[in-house]
Amino acid sequence: MVPGTDEVENTFFAQPIINIDTGATMRYELLLRERRPDGWHLPSSFGLPFVEARQLLLAALTHLDVKQIDLNLTAAQFANARFINRLVELKLATPELVHMNVELTGTPSIITLQQMGVLLSQADIHVTIDDVGSDNLRMDVVDLFPFIDNVKFAMQNVRHPGSCADVEAQVGYWKRLADEHHLHFTLGGIESHADVDVAEQLGITEGQGFYFGRPVIPQ
């Protein structure tokens, strides 16, 4: 909070997405955080107006060594054609922003995905469905596959004590499904060398998690 006002201070933290084979950073996921008296926390609302989202994105971009990002959008932001058009304009007007994915934790309707996909394609902005296998099951997303570019599996959402083999089986299932539909696959929640071994055994090259780096303020 800003002293003496009710204004909330937001910023984007950045967490790297790594090429597991080489260790190189492929891009950064931008994660919204809100300042409170005791530090930075998850925000009370993820639905930033575009003007603020643009300001925070450009501020973060200046400090990133790799100018490729994943930006999380709420369902309302993604379904808002004005928001998406302004995002396209931002991408086209920012040549230093080499590549952008938008990440969706919810599943839009096919009609919304088709409509917004046409707009996003003007700036070659790709669409990722996050949390497959946990929040988003196969029956929720399989019909969306022709209209997206990437799926992301979060190991932390399905990890339970003594369930290593089951987690590996689920990761393998979703990797095969992504391959069958010619989609990129990102494995999130990598926290140990054992998790890296799982990824390598399954031919997964895009990884994210505390093993590679925690979210931090770009600087």
Q: Average pLDDT of the chain?
A: 94
Predicted pLDDT of residue 4: 43
Predicted pLDDT of residue 8: 81
Percent of the chain with pLDDT over 70: 95
Predicted pLDDT of residue 135: 87
d(CA 152, CA 175): 9
For residues 100 and 162, which has the higher predicted lDDT (pLDDT)? 100
Looking at 74-201, list the stretches that DSSP marks H as alpha helix, in order from N- to C-terminal side: 75-79, 81-92, 110-120, 138-141, 164-180, 193-201
d(CA 101, CA 19): 16
Residue whose token pair is 């993820």: 46
Contact assessment for residue 149 and residue 184, using Cβ atoms and an 8 Å cutoff: yes
d(CA 184, CA 91): 21
Q: What mean pLDDT comes out for the span 149-166?
A: 81
Of 135, 70, 146, 77, nearest to 107 by C-alpha is 135
Predicted pLDDT of residue 2: 42
d(CA 141, CA 133): 10
Tens digit of each residue's pLDDT (9 = 90 or more) over 167-204? 899 999 999 999 999 999 999 999 999 999 999 999 99
Of 133, 111, 120, nearest to 178 by C-alpha is 133
Predicted pLDDT of residue 19: 98
State yes or no: pLDDT of 41 exceeds 60: yes
State yes or no: pLDDT of 163 exceeds 70: no
- What are residue 136's phi and psi, to 5 degrees? -120, 105
State yes or no: pLDDT of 152 exceeds 80: yes
Predicted pLDDT of residue 157: 83
State yes or no: pLDDT of 162 exceeds 90: no
Predicted pLDDT of residue 164: 62
Tens digit of each residue's pLDDT (9 = 90 or more) over 57-93? 999 999 999 999 999 999 999 999 999 999 999 999 9
Predicted pLDDT of residue 1: 38
